[in-house]
Structure 1
Amino acid sequence: MQTLGIDLAASPKKTGVAWLEWSGGKARVSKLVVGAADDELVEAMATAHKTGIDCPLGWPREFVDFIVEHQDDHVDVDPGLAADWRRRLSYRTTDLYVKRAVPGIQGLSVSADRIGVTTMRCAALLSQLAARGLAVERTGSGPITEVYPAASLVRWGFDHKRYKGTKAQPRRNQLVDELQSAASWLELGEYEEDCRASDDALDAVLASMTARAAALGLVEPVPAGSQVAAATEGWIALPRSGVKISELAASG
């Protein structure tokens, strides 16, 4: 099995992409790049067994409805409900689910933070995939799934804090060491230094590992009451509670 992990950014320059080959109880990083244009990403996603994208696959339904209504009229809100109303406009059902399920995790708002620009790029990529006949299910049931590397780290027993940025290399080095100790079957090979030097590279590897978890059914299912929201807003593939990282390599 080949999984692909994409740490998507608004610009190609900061986009990390990792290919992992799974065989014989091991996972080998066969290719890792930081810097990928849209056509390269589409081609890679079209050939991978499962792709994990670190980027929202959609916007909150209530936010979309709000924008449409605002175009035609003014929107009135009961002052007593304003805070909760803004929260529902800002965060998707999956964002709120992950926040409740994973202590210490607070995702970005796709409708109120800069991640929205990256999501615009993602939407265009998904459209190109659909035009090629590749079914894109935002619930993650198809070959594409949304991932959140920080949440995956927590579920696998790692500290997700302070490993991002140019000044965070000491912590990133530690995290890579911890990851290799816990997952001795993971072969970073010539790309180990890239993971230590760049959080974009490391997140791409983590995204690819989460894609593997999703392919094996080792992620939390979409709750029955959230299926409709997941189909339009997207759903984060969250590794199941209690599943050990070693289970990723348990089968071929």
Structure 2
Amino acid sequence: MKYGGVDLAADPKRTALAIISDDNGLVIDDLEVGIDDDAVVDVIVSTEKVGLDVPLGWPDPFVQLVSDHAHRTLRAPQTTGPDWRRTMAMRATDLAVRERTGKVPLSVSTDRIAYPALRWAGIDARLRADGVDVSRDGSGRICEVYPGAALHCWSLPSSGYKGRDRSAERVSLVEALSRIFDGIDWNGSEALCTDDDNALDAVVSALLARAVARGEATPPPVQLQDRVSREGWIWLPSESRL
């Protein structure tokens, strides 16, 4: 089976794509940085599942707020304090990730992560028009992932590895991933992972897509299924598989 991982940036120049396979051992078949929309579409339609490091949707309360505000039907809240604002900023899955890992995903409502999310919304529409199942709950061809939180779940350093001056930290992460995924064949891609944190995140995203497909990741709880169908769900490694 082949699985993909995409670290989706707003700028294609900073977008990374990894493809792994496990038919004859775990192998990184391809790793590239500088990925346009066509390449993202291609990997989604040609692999078993793709892990996407980008928010797939916006918080329900935020969407309602924007709609009500646009139509001048917004009812005044009792307070505009931090608790109220947090309901607009955080999705259900963001809160679940924070509860399990202590890491707080960037807010797709209020942070710069909204720019790649806007790019994904356009790609999502293109795929849906072609009949591709891009369900945001992870049941189709894609699943939302958060490499930093996954690294935390694997008891690996989950911060401090990004940036041009952090190549030594990325070398250590590549070595650590080789221990966790015993026998993984990097196929010469270690250098790119060391040089570019986007590439490393793409590899982790592909490994997570494989985990989701194999039933080794945590699905959304039943009571959140409806909301997750709109907001998305960040898949983390199952605790039973750690």
Q: Same fold (TM over 0.5)?
A: yes
* Structure 2: distance between partners of 1:55 and 1:139: 13
User: Given the alignment of the two structures, is residue 51 of structure 1 paired with residue 50 of structure 2, yes or no?
Assistant: yes
- The match for 1:184 among 167, 179, 182 is 182
Query: What residue number does 1:210 align with?
Result: 208
CA–CA distance in structure 2, aligned partners of residues 69 and 52 of structure 1: 33
| Matching residue of 1:114 | 112
Q: 1:35 maps to what in 2?
A: 34
TM-superposition CA deviations, 1:209-247 (whole Å, max 9, x none): 000010011111211221111000001111111313xxx
Measured in 1, the distance between the counterparts of 2:75 and 2:185 equals: 54
Secondary structure of 2:26's aligned partner: strand
Quote the residue 1:94 is aligned against.
93
Q: Structure 1: which amino acid aligns with 2:21?
A: E
Please list the CA deviations of residues 95-152 of structure 1 after superposition, one character each: whole Å capped at 9, or x if unmatched: 001100113x111000000000110000111111111111111000111100010111
Specify the code of the residue in structure 1 equivalent to 2:161. Y
Structure 2 unmatched runs, 5+? none
Q: Match for 1:40: what amino acid?
A: A
Letter aligned with residue 125 of structure 1: I
Residue 21 (structure 1) aligns with: 21
Query: Which 10-residue stretch deviates more, 182-191 or 165-174?
Result: 182-191
Q: Deviations over 1:166-206 (max 9, x none)?
A: 11111111111111123232111211100111100000000
* Aligned alpha-carbon RMSD (Å): 1.2
Q: CA deviation at 1:162?
A: 0.4
CA distance in 2, matches of 1:151, 1:116: 19
Distance 1:221 1:122 in 2: 21
Which residue number corresponds to residue 2 of structure 1?
A: 2
Cα distance in 1 for residues equivalent to 2:75 and 2:168: 49
Q: Contact 1:156 / 1:243 at 8 angstroms: preserved in 2?
A: no
Query: TM-score, with normalisation over the residues of structure 2?
Result: 0.96
What displacement does 1:75 show?
4.7
Alignment deviations for residues 5-51 of structure 1 (CA, whole Å, 9 cap, x no partner): 00000010000000001124x21111110001111111121111100
**Which of 219, 225, 228 is 1:227 aligned to?**
225
Partner residue of 1:71?
Answer: 70
Identity %: 37
Tell me the equivalent position of 2:82. 83
- Runs of 5+ unmatched residues, structure 1: 245-252
Rounded Cα–Cα distance in structure 1 between residues aligned with 2:225 and 2:67: 23
Q: How many residues in Structure 1 have an aligned counterpart in Structure 2?
A: 241
